[in-house]
Amino acid sequence: QVQLQESGPGLVKPSETLSLTCAVSGYSISSGYYWGWIRQPPGKGLEWIGSIYHSGSTYYNPSLKSRVTISVDTSKNQFSLKLSSVTAADTAVYYCARHTLRLSNWFDPWGQGTLVTVSS
């Protein structure tokens, strides 16, 4: 079955860039679907960050768009997130998920999530 696994530093300093990668197994990213990033601050709700198609086409959350870059590497079957100029408000569990988009929309499956703390 399709599985996603996030990886990256668990601690990032303020003003620096947060970088995460999501490795996909059991499905080829090139076969279709969008692939998304969602985050959840401690004790709070879900916030969509953005999603990317295997062609590189992207959708970003307008509130984060100026700081976000999502890229895809089909050769490694993975996609990545970069969030620049981070502050403590970016501390959250970051999830990656397969995103059905166009005509319908849902996220399934999800990775287990990775906690990223922004602190000096």
Q: Does 61 bind another protein (CB under 8 A)?
A: yes
Query: Among 46, 73, 82, 88, which residue sits at the site for another protein (rule: CB under 8 A)?
Result: 46
Beta bridge partners of 18: 83
> Contact at 8 Å (CB) between 114 and 8?
yes
Query: Among 51, 78, 80, 91, which residue sits at the site for another protein (rule: CB under 8 A)?
Result: 51
Q: Does 60 bind another protein (CB under 8 A)?
A: yes
Closest CB 106 distance from another protein, rounded Å: 4
Amino acid at 8: G
Distance CA 80, CA 104 (A): 23
Distance CA 52, CA 117 (A): 24
Going by their DSSP bridges, the two strands 106-110 and 68-73 should be labelled as: unpaired
Please, which residue, 5 or 16, has the CB nearer to another protein?
5
> Interface residues with another protein (CB under 8 A)?
36, 38, 45-48, 51, 59-63, 95, 99-101, 103-113
